Chain A
Amino acid sequence: MRLMLAVILVFGLAAGLGLGATWWTVAHGLPVARLAIGPWRAEPDAGTLAADPYERAGAARRGEAPLAYGDGLPFTAETDDSGRPLDLACDYALEGRLPNARLWSLAAFQPSGKPIESQGEPIGLNSANVVRTDDAPLRIALSRDARPGNWQQLGGAGPFVLRLTLYDTTIGTPLDRADPDVLLAIRREGCR
């Protein structure tokens, strides 16, 4: 009887821990990222054949075709600067200077990967359509009500993620001696 209990304990523990750890890491990724700049996280390996098993499993689970590293490097933000999860019911102000890249783009997605639409078009700002001001950092407003400058409308409620992709960048390579300490600061304003 004692032996039976021990066997059940061992196998129960093994299945619970093993499957639980797999489920959690595949859904959330590893808690540490190779590149973490403010709330932005990136894994330069994920777009190569040298991707680790966690990155492979996560991409397969999301059904995503990772961006090849020779193409670009995507940074994902799930929280604002103070660590609160991004919520569609809130207004956000993004501000910062972006590192050298041939091209960058900013997009908003639901956690499932569906693009978030703003007035019937997916939210998609990029270095070609953004408005810049002389001698001032780049400013982007994500809010319900219209703002001057770069504005994209948020609506509804629920969590979302932001993806900032730098195309043809040296970030993450040995050429880039120091990673920038800020990409775009994400500041939460009001919430409804």
Chain B
Amino acid sequence: MMRLLYALALGLTLGGLVHIATLFAVPLMAPGSAYDRLAAATPVGRFAVLPDAGAETLPFRDPSFVMAACRYDLADGPVTIRASLPSTYGSVTVHNRYGQPFYALTDKAATNGAVEVTVLSRDDVAAAEVEDAPEGRPALRIVSPTPTGFVLVRLFASGPSARPALRHLAGKASCERAATRQISP
């Protein structure tokens, strides 16, 4: 009897460990995560406007918004995101490899209707500090927790008639490799 109780307690404890381990493994192993879905629809380093219909690209997308997505890869250096956000409502959000957002800007933060953010990896932070531009507007830099990830530009469409212009505007957003300056010795 004691032995059975002991086996049950051991089984419960191990079950808890299995639960915790598998739970943490789900984001790493889930097929069809947000990044994988975007990988099928968008290239790296360029914004693509997602089609209005269809859940294949991203599920639970708010149909009142026009959305453009760009995947980034920081292996080749920092990436600069530029997007125009109309004052109706627009946002730029930066997501890590597992889809979790780690930075968001709405049109309230826009200067002259546009926002500019540079995403860099942990290794590039020191280099970026050195080559800070002495002139121009202050650059906004954020560190990505993962070397790859994606950026979403979401623009609110008050009605179907507003969509074509917003799709055009969202498609004009860019997420190119940041221009690097030569550091003279």
With A17-B19, A22-B26, A103-B89 already in contact, the answer to whether A65 and B152 are too (CB < 8 A) is yes
Residues of A within 8 A of B98 (CB): 56, 60
Residues of A within 8 A of B145 (CB): 49
**Chain B, residue nearest A128 (CB):** B158
Among B26, B91, B101, the residue within 8 A (CB) of A26 is B26
Residues of B within 8 A of A168 (CB): 89, 106
With A63-B58, A68-B91, A113-B60 already in contact, the answer to whether A6 and B3 are too (CB < 8 A) is yes
Residues of A within 8 A of B14 (CB): 10-11, 13-14, 18
Instruction: Name B's A-contacting residues (CB within 8 A).
Output: 3-4, 7-8, 10-19, 21-24, 26-27, 30, 32-34, 36-37, 52-55, 58-65, 89, 91, 93, 95-96, 98-106, 145, 150, 152, 154, 156, 158-160
Residues of A within 8 A of B19 (CB): 17-19, 21-22
Query: Bound complex: CA of A3 vs CA of B93, how far in Å?
Result: 56
A-B contact count (CB 8 A): 195
B104–A68 touching, CB < 8 Å = yes
A115 at the interface (CB under 8 A from B): yes
With A17-B19, A105-B64 already in contact, the answer to whether A128 and B159 are too (CB < 8 A) is yes
- Tier of interface size on chain A: 35 or more
Residues of B within 8 A of A107 (CB): 62-64
B-contacting 9-mer, from A34-42, A118-126, A176-184: A118-126
Among A2, A11, A49, A102, the residue within 8 A (CB) of B89 is A102
A54–B23 touching, CB < 8 Å = yes
Q: Which 5 A-B pairs have the closest CB atoms?
A: A113-B59, A18-B18, A13-B11, A17-B15, A14-B14
A10–B7 touching, CB < 8 Å = yes
**Chain A, residue nearest B162 (CB):** A128
23 cross-chain CB contacts under 8 A: A10-B14, A11-B14, A13-B12, A14-B13, A17-B11, A22-B23, A47-B101, A49-B96, A56-B26, A57-B26, A57-B30, A59-B99, A63-B59, A65-B99, A67-B93, A69-B101, A70-B91, A70-B93, A102-B89, A103-B156, A113-B59, A115-B61, A165-B62
A148 at the interface (CB under 8 A from B): no
With A103-B89, A114-B55 already in contact, the answer to whether A48 and B101 are too (CB < 8 A) is yes
Query: Bound complex: CA of A163 vs CA of B24, how far in Å?
Result: 27
A14-B17, A16-B15, A60-B99 provided; 6 other pairs, C-beta below 8 A? A60-B30, A60-B33, A66-B101, A67-B93, A68-B91, A103-B89
Among B23, B36, B99, the residue within 8 A (CB) of A66 is B99
User: What 1/0 mask marks residues of chain A from 2 to 31 whose CB sits below 8 Å from any chain B CB?
Assistant: 100010011111111111011001100000
Query: Bound complex: CA of A48 vs CA of B61, how far in Å?
Result: 18
B12–A17 touching, CB < 8 Å = yes
Residues of B within 8 A of A47 (CB): 101
**Chain B, residue nearest A62 (CB):** B59
Query: Bound complex: CA of A65 vs CA of B36, how far in Å?
Result: 11
**Chain B, residue nearest A122 (CB):** B63
B150–A65 touching, CB < 8 Å = yes
With A26-B26, A103-B156, A168-B106 already in contact, the answer to whether A65 and B11 are too (CB < 8 A) is no
B62–A65 touching, CB < 8 Å = no
**Chain B, residue nearest A21 (CB):** B19
**How distant is A112 from chain B, measured CB to nearest CB, in Å?**
6
A145 at the interface (CB under 8 A from B): no
Residues of B within 8 A of A124 (CB): 62-64
